[in-house]
Amino acid sequence: MATVELTFSALPAHVRTARLVATAIARRTGVEESLLDEVRLAVGEACSRAVEAHRLHCPGEPIRIELRDDLGRFEVTVTDSAPSDELEQEQASLRFEDPLVQLPDTLMSGFGIAVIVGLADDVQVYPSQKGMRIRMSWPATANGLSAV
């Protein structure tokens, strides 16, 4: 199991860097080219959500990403330190029938997570008072190179 870890300050500019790193490691791990756009978007969504949450609750704390080559799967875990107990409520109220009523013109946590769920092959979201962990994974071929 090879792992790359990345921590970054809660600045929007760093989200692009995180996307680029995740896509590069996914390619190296053997994720199919056709899935790389999904990896890029899902990791970007998870990191954007974390940055917005940190800017509200704990701007000085870093956000952590782990990228792992795990038994034929490429696994990404994005961990933040912002309390996220309101997530269930946000997701429960999220209905896409009338997004004009619900969606403000800023990022909405539940909306980003809904996009991740639509993109990643396998997603687990662990909200807690100490922060949120989003784990997602995609299949990787045996021909991939080691992540590190």
Partner 1 sequence: MDLKLDHHSEDRLTIVEVEGEIDVYTAPRLRELLIDLVNKGNFHLLVNMEKVDFLDSTGLGVLVGGLKRVRAHDGSLELVCTQERILKIFRITGLTKVFGIYASVEEAKEAHGSDK
3-state SS of 31-69 is CCHHHHHHHHHHHHHHHHHHHHHHHHHCCCCCEEEEEEE
CA–chain centroid gap for 7, Å, is 13
The answer to whether 104 contacts partner 1 (rule: CB under 8 A) is yes
Indicate which single residue of 1, 60, 96, 129 sits in contact with partner 1 (rule: CB under 8 A): 96
The answer to whether 122 contacts partner 1 (rule: CB under 8 A) is no
Site for partner 1, residues 23 to 82, rule: CB under 8 A: 37, 40-41, 44-45, 48, 51-52
Choice between 42 and 69, CB closer to partner 1: 42
Which bin fits 30, alpha (ψ -120 to 50), beta or left (φ > 0)? Answer: left
Indicate which single residue of 4, 82, 108, 147 sits in contact with partner 1 (rule: CB under 8 A): 108
Alpha helices in the chain (DSSP H): 12-29, 33-57, 87-92, 99-102, 109-119
Question: Residues in the site for partner 1, rule: CB under 8 A?
Answer: 12-13, 15-16, 19, 37, 40-41, 44-45, 48, 51-52, 96-97, 99-100, 103-108, 111-112, 114-115, 118-119
